[in-house]
Amino acid sequence: MSNLQGKVALVTGASKGIGAGIARELAARGAAVAVNYSGSKDAAEKLVAEIKAAGGKAFAVQANLTDPNSIGPLVDKVSQQFGPIDVLVNNAGVYEFSPIESVTPEHFHKQFNLNVLGLLLTTQAALRHFNPKGGSIINIGSVAASGVPSASVYSATKGAVDSITVALSQELGSRHIRVNSLNPGMVETEGVRAAGIMGSDFQKETEAKTPLGRIGQPQDIATVAAFLASDDSLWLSGQTIHAAGGIRI
């Protein structure tokens, strides 16, 4: 399938996990993909090499999206390398769970500075280099946006992402830019494995609550992102799509 042939995509936080899966899928469908990373240079370069070996186009570009001064140069490099941007995937994010008694300003700002402010500023910068014909912005949210115990701050950031998606879909529609939220449930990623969730009671409980009977894989999210990136979703904007096997939190 080559329904993204000739498109240029920037995927933030794309060196691992869901972001890497999305970058790999977009490239496989013909897009030239900018693989943004913050600290995982080796993983990003390995992914780029994999994409190129499969005949795709990609390059790795470093930027810490919690630093506003790094965002403009990131987008400039993408435009210089590949030309106008057609697809922006705001995937970079961080999560920390904490009961309300342990919430601190640092805990709050660590998550909001990346998950919300970083998303807004990256979108703002990308719009200056967007294809005049329009395109697609995909914000990676979470089913946790509805609120989960011991994740009040993280849930708040993802609730904000859903609200931003609706606002921007209305603001940017006249420029033929579609904006949608893609909200995964639990997905097996490096971070989930490092947190010891795989094989835990929490995983088993989540699978038991999931109608399709398992947790997700990055590819499950990537194929939906590719649909939202393509003209196959030309009439979708301002939507929140739950890619979570049917689970409702």
* Count of structural domains, the chain: 1
E-only strand ranges, 70-229: 87-90, 135-140, 177-184
pLDDT at position 190 is: 80
CB-based burial label for 97 (10 Å; 0-12, 13-18, 19+): middle
Task: Calculate ∠ Cα 90-25-12, nearest 5°.
Answer: 20
Q: Is the dihedral of CA 201, 206, 210, 213 positive or negative?
A: negative
Residues annotated as catalytic are 154
Q: Residue 248 domain-assigned?
A: no
- Yes or no: say if 125 and 74 are a contact pair by the CB < 8 Å rule: yes
Per-residue model confidence (pLDDT) at position 1: 67
Integer Cα distance of 118 and 166 in angstroms: 17
Q: Is residue 3 part of a domain?
A: no
Residue 249 domain-assigned? Answer: no
CATH code of the domain in which 102 resides: 3.40.50.720
Amino acid identity for residue 246 in this structure:
G
| pLDDT confidence of residue 70 | 97
- Residues 26 and 58: beta-carbon distance below 8 Å: no
Q: Is residue 118 part of a domain?
A: yes
- Domain-located, residue 63: yes
Q: Single out the residue of 19, 58, 57, 56 nearest to residue 38, CA to CA.
A: 19
Angstrom distance (rounded) from CA 129 to CA 47:
24
Lookup result for tokens 């940017």: 172
Q: What is the residue-level pLDDT of the chain in tens, covering all 249 positions?
A: 679 999 999 999 999 999 999 999 999 999 999 999 999 999 999 999 999 999 999 999 999 999 999 999 999 999 999 999 999 999 999 988 899 999 999 999 999 999 999 999 999 999 999 999 999 999 999 998 989 888 899 999 999 999 999 999 999 999 999 999 999 988 888 877 777 778 888 888 888 889 999 988 999 999 999 999 999 999 999 999 999 999 887
Contact predicate 140/89, CB 8 Å: yes
Give the range of the structural domain holding residue 173, as residue numbers without chain letter: 8-243
Q: Is residue 2 part of a domain?
A: no
Taking 3-state DSSP, the helix, strand and coil percentages for the chain, each rounded to the nearest 5, stand at: 50, 20, 35
In a domain, 147, yes or no: yes
User: For residue 28, what pLDDT is reported?
Assistant: 97
Asked if residue 22 is part of any domain, the answer here is: yes
Residue 191: predicted pLDDT: 77
Handedness of CA 185, 189, 192, 193 (dihedral sign): positive
